[in-house]
Structure 1
Amino acid sequence: MGALNETPLLGVLFDMDGTLVDSTEFIEFAWSSWARDLGVETPPLERRHGRPARDIIAEFAPPERFDYAFDRLEWWETRPDAPITPRPGVHDFIAQLGDIPWTVVTSATYPVALARLNAAGIPVPDTMVTARDVTRGKPDPEPFATGAARLGLDPATCFAVEDAEAGVRAAVGAGCVTLATSSIASERTLLTPLAHAVLPDLRGVRVDGDRTGFRILLPQG
């Protein structure tokens, strides 16, 4: 195994969709259903990936219907029958953290984040950074800087895990040691110049240390 960092880290910041949970199929269903309700074009994936919903809605829905559009999307995205599953390696990695502080930094709203974490059987951290907690969403560094602050840490002492270009840029811009994960080879190629390391998922990633300082060990090959 190879060490990602030499300077000890103190906390972990996770993106949610595509990183902790596999929600792609349901998200596509929710956005297409939302667009049908509004009578607008479905925003293409490349315009949505990793960005706050409010920014996307502002581009595709009439301004006078923004509040309705936002509430309607949240209604679709918090359906209890959503087929949400954990990404490979997530449960094992979180179990390794022990008393190391961690949180979720997501462009989703809090109700959506809560619904998806619960559906995937992932513990809900005491504090999360969601869409309403920041004024500038990813790719701005503010979400990850806010996540580190809520853990009482400097972003430079945090390990971030992301899957989207916007999120990787945000995490690296905040100063985090950043791992990008994607099951799609072309996306890994895109993310390789941006992140400190790129893997398909968290399987085989090990935590060496505790809350006083830890290293991230990556599988080789």
Structure 2
Amino acid sequence: MTLPSPSGPPASRGDGAPVSALLLDLDGTLVNSEPLHREGYRVYFAQKGWDVPDLTIFTGRRALDVLATEPGPWSGLDPQAVLDEILEHVPDEDPEPVPGARELILTARSGRTPVAIVTSAGPAWVERSLGSLGLGLDDVDLVVTALDVTAGKPDPEGFALACERLGADPAAAVAAEDSPAGIRAAVAAGVRRVHGIATTHAPDELTAAGAVEVHVDARPLLALLAD
């Protein structure tokens, strides 16, 4: 879904150049949902009697990709069946908003900066998460979910697809991500200004992955839209 851009001056990236698009991850970037997901994994592993792995391997990536490619106690099992069981244990709660996330989206949409959500989650979780921000699907220009790509993050397909559908130059876009996998995906798609949100990973991990700046929440990104 792509909406026409409202009138008004385009935002800049902070270096004087206009922002072609604002590309936003969802979990950990707009909503602090990682604690809910990790509780689902923890309960599932405990019930199986398995040692709990480093759950950061799931952060920012499609769970099916991790279960299919990473070694673990799930090796040899049907990844979809494992994921279905894990999801049964995720608390049925709305995620907490990341400070500044709602304002960031609304500020961009009130100007001429198109907004895309590029996420490893599915469509239903996108809609629920936006609802926790008091927003709906009509408040963003485009959503790219796990179902829209053949390869998940850190593959750049999702960000490249978002830029293609928005008609946006990736080199002039700004992305925000909370995981190294997501940052690498955006950088590989040609996005030159990728900002890290340190809700789930240490700042140095995000910087090492390619983030140009790291913030504790989404509020500092508002300055990019005010230039």
TM-score by length of 1: 0.80
Aligned to 1:202: 218
Alignment of 1:67-216 (within 5 A): 67-77=80-90, 81-97=92-108, 98=110, 99-124=112-137, 125=140, 127-176=142-191, 177-183=193-199, 187-193=202-208, 194-206=210-222
Is the deviation greater in 188-197 or in 84-93?
A: 188-197
Alpha-carbon shift at residue 165 of structure 1 (Å): 0.8
Alpha-carbon shift at residue 35 of structure 1 (Å): 3.2
Aligned to 2:7: none
Residues 145 and 3 of structure 1, relative CA distance in 2, 3 Å threshold = closer
Residues 112 and 203 of structure 1, relative CA distance in 2, 3 Å threshold = same
Alpha-carbon shift at residue 92 of structure 1 (Å): 1.5
Q: Matched residues in 2 for 1:42 and 1:216: separation?
A: 44
Residues 92 and 42 of structure 1, relative CA distance in 2, 3 Å threshold = same
Alignment of 1:8-87 (within 5 A): 8-36=18-46, 40-58=50-68, 59=70, 60=72, 61-77=74-90, 81-87=92-98
Aligned with 2:78: secondary structure? Answer: helix
For residues 123-162 of structure 1, give each alpha carbon's deviation from its aligned partner in whole angstroms, at most 9, with x where no partner exists: 3235311112112211121111112122222322321111
Alpha-carbon shift at residue 5 of structure 1 (Å): 3.3
Which structure has more strand as a fraction of its residues? 1
Aligned with 2:64: secondary structure? Answer: helix
1:136 and 1:142 in contact (8 A); partners too: yes
TM-score by length of 2: 0.78
Q: Matched residues in 2 for 1:20 and 1:104: separation?
A: 9
1:31 and 1:43 in contact (8 A); partners too: no
Aligned with 1:88: secondary structure? Answer: coil
Alpha-carbon shift at residue 121 of structure 1 (Å): 2.7
Aligned with 1:140: secondary structure? Answer: coil
Identity among equivalent positions (%) equals: 33
Q: Matched residues in 2 for 1:116 and 1:76: separation?
A: 18
2:23 and 2:159 in contact (8 A); partners too: yes
Contiguous gaps of at least 5 residues in structure 1: 209-214
Q: Matched residues in 2 for 1:140 and 1:21: separation?
A: 22
Alpha-carbon RMSD across the aligned residues, in angstroms, is 2.7
Residues 57 and 38 of structure 1, relative CA distance in 2, 3 Å threshold = farther
